[in-house]
Every structure is written in C-alpha cells, then in structure tokens.
Amino acid sequence: MTDAATNMRLKLPVICFILQIILIILFATLVQYDHDTDAAAWHDGNHTSESENDFYYRYPSFQDVHVMIFIGFGFLMTFLQRYGFSSVGFNFLIASFALQWATLMQGFFHGMHGGKIHIGVESMINADFCTGAVLISFGAVLGKTSPIQLLVMAMFEVTLFAINEFILLSILGAKDAGGSMTIHTFGAYFGLMVTRVLYRPNLDKSKHRNSSVYHSDLFAMIGTIFLWMYWPSFNSAVTAHGDDQHRTAMNTYYSLAACTMATYGMSALTAHDGKLDMVHIQNAALAGGVAAGTAGEMMLTPYGSMIVGVLAGIISVLGFKFLTPILEEKLKVQDTCGVHNLHGMPGILGAIVGAVTAAVATTDVYGKGMADVFPDVASGEIAASYQGVRQAISLAVTLGIALLGGLIVGFILKLPVFGAPSDAICYEDSIYWEVPGEEEAHDGQLTAVRTTETEKLNN
C-alpha cells in the first residue's frame, strides 16, 4: 500500500529523533526557569503570598489555549472523510515540535537574560500562540503533504513567526494581544503561499476523498465548539492583568456571539434552497474571535465588538461561497480548509479595526488605563493617530513576511525526498497510518489506482 516515496519507516524516525535531540541540547544550553518558576529565585523574593506567582494568573488561560491547539484545531480539520487520523494525529505531532521550537525562537528575541532564555507560564502561552499559526498553515495544505513536509514547514514557519512578531511588537510598537496579525494573518497567508507553490494540477484524481461525510462533519464540529468556547481566553491570555484581560475576554465573547448569528443568516441567504451549510458553521462562526484579536484589549465597546463579529461572519461565509472557487481556478490556490476565509480575511479585518481603534484613542476614554494599552501614547512619545499608522504598517509587514516566507518554504517542500503523496492518493489516512478494519479492502483500491496511473504513463 505504501510506496517507496511515502514510506516513513526511516524518514520519520530520523527527523523526529534528530529534531528532538537538537531541542534537548539547545534547552540544556540556553534555557532556564524564570523568577516565578525557579525555586531559589522565588523564595528569595519579597512575596506576601504564593498566590502572587504568575502561574495563578496565567495558567487557567494557558489551559484553555492548550485545549484549543490540540483539540480545537485538531478536530476542526477532521471533516475529510478518510483523513481523520492524519488531521488529529499530524496536528498532535507538529504542535508538539512547534511549541518546543517556538520557546527557543521567541526566547531569542524576547526572553534572553544574561545569555539565557527565561521561561515560565507566559512563555508557554506564547509558544502555543506561535504553534497556532503553524496549525493554520497546516489547514491550507491538509491532505496533500507528508508528516516530514509538515515538520520542515513548522521549523521554518516558527522561525519566521518569531521574527515577524519581534518586528511588530518590539520594533514597530504594535499592539496585537489576540494575534489577528501575528497569528491569523501570518499563518493564513504563509500557508496559502505554500499551497500555491505546491499546486497540483491533477489533484482532481483525489477529489472524491476531498469531501466530508455525516460523521466527519460532526467530529469537526467538536473542534469548532471547543475553539468557540475558549477563544475569549485565547485573545486575553497575555494581556495586562485586571481590566485589560477582563475587557478582552468580554469583547471576544460578544464578537463571537454576533458572528455566529451572522454566519447562520448568511449561510441560509447564500443557498438557493435556504439550507444551512455545515462548512460555514464550522468555520465562519469562529471568525469573530479572529477579528477581535487586535482590538480586543482596546476600548472597542460591546456594541463595537458585535459589529466586528457580524462583519467577520459575513465576509467569511461569502469567502467560502464565492472566493474559494476563484482562488482555486484562477490563482491555483488549493486551500483545503478554507483558512483564507476563517483566518486570512478576518485577520486583516481585525488588523484594520485595531488600527482605527488605536488612532481614535483618547485619555478621556482610557484614563490612566492608556498606559497599559498604549504606553507610548500615554507617555506622550507619539500621538494616537501615529499608533494607528504603526498598526497599519504592521499589517503590511506581516503580509510581506508571510508571503515571501511561504514562497521560499514552498519550494523547499517540493523536494521529492520528503515523501509527499501522489495526486491520486491525497486525503487518505492509510498512506501513513494503519487503519483498523479497512486495510484489506483499501489495499485493493489503492493498488487499482496505481495500476491505472501506470497504464496512463505507459500510454
């Protein structure tokens, strides 16, 4: 069933063990506990209570984000009828690698102290955020790539993510707590460029498997519900304690609710028979969380959050209905999960909303809280309008790095050594997994497919 190109018996163990050994060596050399994690440092500090440790403020949010990464993203991609093992399993694999590599890459730019990377619960959250961007890109290439390709993609993407994040947050001074730009826009357009470079003109040979069945869509809804429930934690996880975190969670909460209402309305409106499309519900209902990512911690107001959610739901459904076919037919972008509609366009919307909201910020509205949200504006270093310009420039930088990086990495992934499946056997678990109860019948199917391919080549 598995041919020489896709056989992972040696390739996968080699890359897994080599990467993990390298990670262990780098961690041993460069990484140490931060103040709130180190036994000696914490107990030498002046603390009136153990509850002051950052763990108690951040860990509940970390748990929510972690569930989103491994269950939310993993199950969201199980809609393909014969790719459930790979959707959840490869998600598990690349996330486990990416969060380790992200700890190092983000540490190089944000967490170096005396030549060491200091890690704690906040660095765990940020590593999960970076991993989220990789999993968004995974959605674009789902079903058409090998686990080796995915690990290589993750290695490069995490590095570029950390560079982009450093430029936006540290050099340009942008605000993007929920990652509309750094996570969603970057992950979507990086993945879209990779899948464009990996374009398969004969992918229609596997089109009968590039679809869902009743139970696979139901499994995908598990991912949707987990993501929907925990998205307020995702957007607020690393904001300042107190009103900032409270406000971010609330803005996201209302944006998601309004987005869901708009999604159901648009799904029925765009169908000639008025029936709901489960693809829209699984994906577009989450767009409100994406769009609230940048402006979530700002004084967006509850009704403003609802407006953002409605707009996100509308553009996401319209994207699935009308734009996805155009991207595939005209631009040759084979976006398996529709990440452009869930993460790309809503991410850009979120960045624009963030820029506008920042530009109109005033001390009358923010009071002393301006120092938490826009410290440079509060100090008088820049005007609020210039903060809006910073936000807009950050969006452009993100798009540039994502597209250029995806282009380069896409060409790297085209190398035949990485074991990508052929056009006729994409979206198929049994290439890389032992599938219980179906192996014998499916072996015959794949053998017949390969025989047909061989006959065509000979003719």
Q: How many CA atoms lie within 13 A of 332 on its CB side?
A: 9
Q: So what's the pLDDT on residue 457? A: 39
Query: From CA 259, how far away is CA 141, in angstroms rounded?
Result: 26
Q: So what's the pLDDT on residue 379? A: 95
Q: So what's the pLDDT on residue 355? A: 98
- Residues written for the chain: 459
By CB atoms closer than 10 A (0-12, 13-18, 19+), residue 200 is middle
Helical spans, DSSP H, in 237-383: 243-269, 278-283, 287-291, 302-318, 324-329, 339, 345-359, 363-366, 370-373, 375-378
pLDDT band at 230, cuts 50/70/90?
Answer: very high
Yes or no: say if 394 and 351 are a contact pair by the CB < 8 Å rule. Answer: yes
Q: So what's the pLDDT on residue 398? A: 98
Query: From CA 183, how far away is CA 136, in angstroms rounded?
Result: 8
pLDDT band at 450, cuts 50/70/90?
Answer: very low
By CB atoms closer than 10 A (0-12, 13-18, 19+), residue 364 is exposed
Yes or no: say if 285 and 314 are a contact pair by the CB < 8 Å rule. Answer: no
Yes or no: say if 134 and 182 are a contact pair by the CB < 8 Å rule. Answer: no
- The CB density around residue 173, as the number of other CB atoms within 10 Å, is 18
Strand bridging mode 116-119 / 112-113? antiparallel
**Check whether domain 62-427 has CATH 1.10.3430.10, yes or no:** yes
For the stretch 343-379, pLDDT in tens is 999 999 999 999 999 999 999 999 999 999 999 999 9
Torsions phi, psi for 64 (to 5 deg):
-65, -45
Q: So what's the pLDDT on residue 2? A: 54
Torsions phi, psi for 32 (to 5 deg):
-145, 165
Bridge partners of 118?
A: 32
Query: From CA 101, how far away is CA 23, in angstroms rounded?
Result: 7
Query: From CA 46, how far away is CA 247, in angstroms rounded?
Result: 30
Q: What percent of the chain has pLDDT over 90?
A: 90
How distant is the alpha carbon of residue 354 from its chain centre? 19
DSSP SS3 for 297: coil
Q: What percent of the chain has pLDDT over 70?
A: 94
For the stretch 41-56, pLDDT in tens is 999 888 888 999 999 9
Yes or no: say if 235 and 177 are a contact pair by the CB < 8 Å rule. Answer: yes
Which residue, 236, 326, 339, is CA-closest to 282? 339
pLDDT band at 61, cuts 50/70/90?
Answer: very high
How far, CA to CA in Å, does 302 sit from each of 127, 253, 331, 351? 29, 9, 38, 18
Of 450 and 23, more confident: 23
The answer to whether residue 86 scores a pLDDT higher than 60 is: yes
Q: Dihedral sign for Cα 251, 74, 122, 188, please.
A: negative
The answer to whether residue 3 scores a pLDDT higher than 70 is: no
For the stretch 249-281, pLDDT in tens is 999 999 999 999 999 999 999 999 999 999 999
Torsions phi, psi for 34 (to 5 deg):
-85, -175
Yes or no: say if 450 and 424 are a contact pair by the CB < 8 Å rule. Answer: yes
Bridge partners of 31?
A: 117
For the stretch 424-447, pLDDT in tens is 999 999 999 999 975 444 444 444
The answer to whether residue 203 scores a pLDDT higher than 50 is: yes
Query: From CA 437, how far away is CA 435, in angstroms rounded?
Result: 7
Which residue, 311, 316, 261, 256, is CA-closest to 288? 256
Of 5 and 337, more confident: 337
Torsions phi, psi for 273 (to 5 deg):
-105, 5
Torsions phi, psi for 331 (to 5 deg):
-100, -5
> What mean pLDDT comes out for the span 85-112?
95
pTM (predicted TM-score) = 0.93
For the stretch 139-167, pLDDT in tens is 999 999 999 999 999 999 999 999 999 99
Query: From CA 82, how far away is CA 175, in angstroms rounded?
Result: 41
Average pLDDT of every residue of the chain:
93
